Chains A and B, each alone.
Chain A
Amino acid sequence: KNEVEQSPQNLTAQEGEFITINCSYSVGISALHWLQQHPGGGIVSLFMLSSGKKKHGRLIATINIQEKHSSLHITASHPRDSAVYICAVMRGTSYGKLTFGQGTILTVHP
């Protein structure tokens, strides 16, 4: 079993829908990253969280350290949100080394 598990692995939505991607991890962490990779594109860091909630535009990321769980929400989804979303954790003693989930492939149809 991977130390970082994401669900769902694939997600299809209609434009305008509210989307949630979940990430569960089994190790102690110092921070959690949500990353985005568009088809043919590079990996971009969306959020780095160690507690609570962060918001950027239509994207919201939350983390519950006690439950070892994080969610990425996209409000009013748009076809340009279609991408792979990756959860990655930084262990407390890892000096920045990331452990990745397998990614969630999101497709938003117009």
Chain B
Amino acid sequence: EAGVTQFPSHSVIEKGQTVTLRCDPISGHDNLYWYRRVMGKEIKFLLHFVKESKQDESGMPNNRFLAERTGGTYSTLKVQPAELEDSGVYFCASSQVGLAGYTDTQYFGPGTRLTVL
């Protein structure tokens, strides 16, 4: 079974440009999470999809970030326009809705390293 995949693995863009990150969760996983690690800091939550619906987007830094999950399958995270402070590693994770509700193991993708110059 394929794991969580993310594309691209690295992206280097200039300030003001647009970048779109993609996450393909494990097939059948309704929960999809986006997280970000800024250098030197802990990983932080960005948002959570259940199928195609945004369950929680409380961690999105500002309206330059737009996440979508069309059809409840893959998700995209667009940053427009990118700023220097957006640099970091963006992780995606997916999980099934377990018997205990949402408390099921999350499987992480390899991350996308974004560098904004």
Contact = CB atoms under 8 A, between A and B. Distances in A.
A97 interface: yes
Q: Do most interface residues of chain A lie in helix, strand or loop, or is the interface mixed? A: strand
Contacts of B41: 102
A42 B109 contact: yes
Interface of A: 2, 4, 30-31, 33, 35, 41-45, 48, 50, 86, 88, 90, 94-103
Interface residues of B, number: 28
Given A30-B103, A90-B103, A96 B108 contact: no
B42 A42 contact: no
B91 interface: yes
Nearest to B47: A97
A44 B106 contact: no
Interface string B31-54: 101010000011111001010000
B72 interface: no
Given A42-B108, A42-B109, A42-B111, A100 B103 contact: no
A45 B55 contact: no
B56 A95 contact: yes
B14 interface: no
Interface in B57-113: 59, 91, 93, 95, 100-111
